[in-house]
Amino acid sequence: MPRYGHILDVQIGELSGLAIRTAFSLTFVAAGDQAAWTPSSGKAVRIKLISFENSADVQVGWRFGITENVQTCRTTKGPYVANFVGCNVQGAVDEVLNIRAEGAVVVKGYILGKEV
pLDDT per residue over 8-58, tens digit each? Answer: 444 445 555 678 899 999 999 999 999 999 999 999 999 988 999 999 999
Q: What is the mean pLDDT of residues 84-102?
A: 89
Contacts of 12 (CB under 8 A, 6+ apart): none
pTM score: 0.80
Longest Cα–Cα distance of the chain, Å, equals: 62
Parse the chain into domains and list their residue ranges.
19-115
CATH code for the part of the protein at 19-115 = 2.60.120
Residue 4 above 70 pLDDT? no
